[in-house]
Amino acid sequence: MTKMNRISALFSKAKEPILNVYTTAGYPHFEDTMTVLTALQEGGVDIIEIGMPYSDPVADGETIQQSNQASLDQGMSVAHLFTQLKDLRQTITVPVLLMGYINPVLQYGVEAFCAKCAAIGIDGLILPDLPMAEYEREYKAIFEAHGLFNIFLITPQTTDERIRHIDSVSKGFIYMVSSASTTGAKTGISSDQETYFERIASMNLQNPRLIGFGISDHSSFMKASKNASGAIIGSAFVKLIGQATDLRAEIVDFVQSIKGKK
Amino acid sequence: MSFQVDEQGYYGNFGGAFIPEMLYPNVEELRSRYLDIIADPVFQAEYDALLKDFVGRPTPLFKAERLSAKYNTKIYLKREDLCHTGAHKVNNTVGQILVAKRLGKNKIVAETGAGQHGVATATVCALMGMECIVYMGAIDIERQAPNVARMRMLGAQVVAAKSGSQTLKDATNEAMRHWINHPVDTHYIIGSVVGPHPYPDMVARFQSIISAEIRTQLQEKEGRDYPDYVIACVGGGSNAAGAFYHFLDEPRTALIAAEAAGKGVNSGHSAATTFLGKSGVLHGSKSLLMQTEDGQVIEPYSISAGLDYPGIGPMHAHLFESGRGKFYGITDEEALVAAVECSQLEGIIPALETAHALAVFEKLQAKPNEIVVVNLSGRGDKDLATYQNRLKLND
């Protein structure tokens, strides 16, 4: 193996809970993508997940849907996003994931898409509507040839047997959806959810886990991190940047407050 | 070549189950159980009894003498418009609500465009005492007010889908999101042969009663159990799937699909997916899809709300790609002309969707001794406002 994937490197050395923040590309304004990424890093984020906007994001709630549409309305596309990210690694050192739906990737061409990701310095992909069986059959070899980790989701309804299988094909981390819901539908962590977190923690999976959906502040972030390596924030962040008047300052402040550094 | 779904849920290059992990347990439960549930004799008896006594099956196969004379061939109309609720949609909702019961679900969610599937779903939910939520695009709620009222009268909750273009595509997104948020007690009744495997196959099976009856009825009337042509309109394609089903492997029967070309296939206002779409993934399956170069789904256009869908069922995409099916693009104007013709020659006012299938006679040039069956998928009452407006019936 030549160079360790940035995600693996992060998890192997992290001592504090890992914060992964999702942001929609080209939001709130078309040219804001790199500004948002830079501010996230400045605030101390550990992983950045960039959402590639899609017209029909079925796993997402209202906040992320609207940010996707607003970005598309300003002309965002996969090709434009790659252009905006061409110098990514001149400033951004944290691991970066692209999150999106499978259709725009198919239209770009899976091979070409992965090659472009590798050239830019993307570390992994989250494609919620790409099922595991399809991934193993048609995509795994291409992703791996370009050093891209495919991040799988598990939910409270996923059976132990399937979790074991997902663990065996995963690299980097497993994305643990905190409840049966779309993004941004619920906030806070209930005791039922904590029981679920503990159940998964006791399975001793080979991959670390990040918990997402319903994480919006320092308290829910810390609660989730008790039974996982960290957590993911999406809708709460997208809501913030949609209303921000001083984008950079408010992002830095948000990240620091989530991590309890303020 | 097989035209049935394979083990992986594919029809040739199309199909599959492209769903987020949140839906996997539900879809997998359905996939692993639907064939056994449907094959159970107790289920079959219950389904058949409801189709007979509640829906009013078998529907007649009517020899359309004056249309036959006009086009110099033998035209039969399969009268799905005479089904309870006024269209074929109820064949599927009766089947799926019985499946839902056996899966232990007590709540139903559905999407609807023109409202026909929503009404058919609300109807069976009332019959079975199940809670019913129907997502409908905010724009469709406005333009299909009578069907909204019918659903509410039947006790269903109609929820406006306010995302995206606020039509059928978005109502489907919202219904899927609702299912993600309520995975345990709710079954999603998809109204067409779309969605993740096993939906396209399951819906096709429930609609296949249409072609099963056509075979029996043609045998009685013509002494042979297959036609030379079966014609049906295709949006997602459920009535076409049902009308084609038992003829898929009958080489003597040509399968003819009528798509909505709107203001013309190349006008920029069309829903003719096989002409304008390319392979893509929407609502859980890979099929032909109208989309931008970037893979964003394009909002289609048709005068008919039931054909106003940017995709097509994977079975139909395979029929198209393999050449087994022949597809025609029918414009709004051609459909309106055909609707008037069927009304005035046969005394049957067809749904606007169905009118697209009726417009194919003009292009087909069938021979005098050939048998043409067209699936008269629905009645036109719901479209009266459009007919009044476009045909100036009140002047």
Task: Classify residue B307 as exposed, middle or buried by CB count within 10 Å of its CB (0-12, 13-18, 19+).
Answer: buried
Residue with tokens 């065996």: A168
Spatial contact of B144 and B306, defined as CB atoms under 8 Å apart: no
- Asked whether the predicted pLDDT for residue A2 surpasses 70, the reply is no
Q: What does DSSP say about strands A230-233 and B10-11: parallel, antiparallel, or unpaired?
A: unpaired
- Evaluate whether the domain defined by B25-50+89-202 bears CATH number 3.40.50.1100: yes
User: Mean pLDDT across the stretch B103-119?
Assistant: 96
pLDDT band at A3 (very low <50, low <70, confident <90, very high): low
Helix H, strand E, coil C: the string for B156-220 is: CEEEEECCCCCCHHHHHHHHHHHHHHCCCCEEEECCCCCCCCCHHHHHHHHHCHHHHHHHHHHHH
* B264 in reach of chain A (CB within 8 A): no
Task: Classify residue B392 as exposed, middle or buried by CB count within 10 Å of its CB (0-12, 13-18, 19+).
Answer: exposed
What pLDDT, on a 0 to 100 scale, did the predictor assign at position A251?
98
User: Mean pLDDT across the stretch A86-91?
Assistant: 98
Q: Where do the DSSP E strands lie in B295-351?
A: 325-331
The matching CATH number, chosen from 3.20.20.70, 3.20.20.10, 3.40.50.300, 1.10.3720.10, for A6-148+215-258 is 3.20.20.70
User: Mean pLDDT across the stretch A57-63?
Assistant: 94
The domain segmentation of chain A, as residue ranges, is 6-148+215-258
A189-219 per-position pLDDT tens digit? 888 899 999 999 999 999 999 999 999 999 9
Rounded mean pLDDT of chain B?
96
Across the interface, whether the CB atoms of A107 and B16 are under 8 A apart is answered no
The domain segmentation of chain B, as residue ranges, is 25-50+89-202, 56-87+208-391
* B7 in reach of chain A (CB within 8 A): no
In this predicted complex, what is the ipTM? Answer: 0.94
What pLDDT, on a 0 to 100 scale, did the predictor assign at position A189?
85
Q: H or E segment at A41?
A: helix A33-43
What pLDDT, on a 0 to 100 scale, did the predictor assign at position B1?
84
Query: Residue B383 CA to chain centroid, in angstroms?
Result: 17
- Distance set, CA B12 to CA B140, B314, B324 (Å): 34, 9, 12
Q: Which residues of B368-379 are buried (b: 16+ CB within 10 A; e: fewer)?
A: eebbbbbbbbbb
Chain B: residue whose CA lies nearest to A128: B20
Across the interface, whether the CB atoms of B282 and A103 are under 8 A apart is answered yes
Partners of residue B180 in chain A, C-beta under 8 Å: 58-59, 180-182
A37 token code pair:
């990424």
Sheet architecture: strand order including B285-289: B10-11, B14-15, B285-289, B278-282
Across the interface, whether the CB atoms of B181 and A181 are under 8 A apart is answered yes
What pLDDT, on a 0 to 100 scale, did the predictor assign at position B167?
85
Of B180, B184, B296, which is closest to A59 when you measure between CB atoms?
B180
A144 token code pair:
């791996």
B122-161 per-position pLDDT tens digit? 999 999 999 999 999 998 898 788 999 999 999 999 999 9
- Asked whether the predicted pLDDT for residue A14 surpasses 80, the reply is yes
B185-222 per-position pLDDT tens digit? 999 999 999 999 999 999 999 999 999 999 999 999 99
CA distance A132 to chain B (A): 9
Count how many Cα atoms sit within 13 Å of the Cα of residue B74 in the half-sphere of its side chain.
Answer: 13
A69 token code pair:
């549409």
* A139 in reach of chain B (CB within 8 A): no
Which of B8, B18, B168, B185 would you mutate first to test chain A, the one with the most A CBs within 10 A? B18
Q: What angle do CA B225, B229, B232 make, to 5 degrees?
A: 110
**How many residues in chain A?**
262
Q: What span, in angstroms and rounded, lies between the C-alpha atoms of B100 and A193?
A: 27
Q: What does DSSP say about strands B254-262 and B325-331: parallel, antiparallel, or unpaired?
A: parallel
User: Hey, what CATH topology would domain B56-87+208-391 get?
Assistant: Rossmann fold (3.40.50)
Residue with tokens 């069986």: A133
Kindly state the percentage of chain A with pLDDT values over 70: 99
Of B21, B283, B294, which is closest to A153 when you measure between CB atoms?
B21
Count how many Cα atoms sit within 13 Å of the Cα of residue B15 in the half-sphere of its side chain.
Answer: 22
Chain B: residue whose CA lies nearest to A81: B294
Count interface pairs A-B at CB distance under 8 A: 113
Q: What is the DSSP letter of A137?
A: I
Three-state SS for B371? Answer: strand
* B17 in reach of chain A (CB within 8 A): yes
Across the interface, whether the CB atoms of B21 and A152 are under 8 A apart is answered yes
Determine whether A49 is an active site residue. yes
Determine whether B341 is an active site residue. no
Spatial contact of B76 and B64, defined as CB atoms under 8 Å apart: yes
- Distance set, CA B240 to CA A122, B178, B373 (Å): 45, 28, 12
Partners of residue B25 in chain A, C-beta under 8 Å: 155, 157-159
User: Which residues are registered as beta bridge partners of B14?
Assistant: B11
Of A69, A152, A157, which is closest to B183 when you measure between CB atoms?
A157
- Distance set, CA B270 to CA B41, B127, B277, B358 (Å): 44, 37, 11, 18
**How many residues in chain B?**
395
B51-59: long-range contacts, CB 8 A cutoff, minimum separation 24: B51/B91, B51/B94, B51/B209, B54/B84, B54/B94, B54/B127, B55/B83, B55/B84, B55/B90, B55/B91, B55/B94, B56/B82, B56/B83, B56/B84, B57/B83, B57/B91, B57/B209, B57/B213, B58/B213, B58/B216, B58/B217, B59/B83, B59/B210, B59/B213
Rounded mean pLDDT of chain A?
95
Determine whether B89 is an active site residue. yes
Residue with tokens 């390596």: A229
What pLDDT, on a 0 to 100 scale, did the predictor assign at position B395?
77
Q: Do the domains B56-87+208-391 and B25-50+89-202 match in fold?
A: yes
Catalytic-labelled residue, pool A16, A42, A46, A49: A49
Of B24, B164, B181, which is closest to A185 when you measure between CB atoms?
B181
User: Mean pLDDT across the stretch B229-246?
Assistant: 98
Q: What are phi and psi of A225, to 5 degrees?
A: -70, -15
Of A54, A103, A129, which is closest to B19 when you measure between CB atoms?
A129
Number of CB atoms found within 10 A of residue B104's CB: 10
- Please state which of the ranges A130-139, A237-246, B47-56, B162-171 shows the lowest mean pLDDT: B162-171
Three-state SS for A69? Answer: helix
- Please state which of the ranges A39-43, A226-230, B110-114, B161-165 shows the lowest mean pLDDT: B161-165
pLDDT band at A181 (very low <50, low <70, confident <90, very high): confident
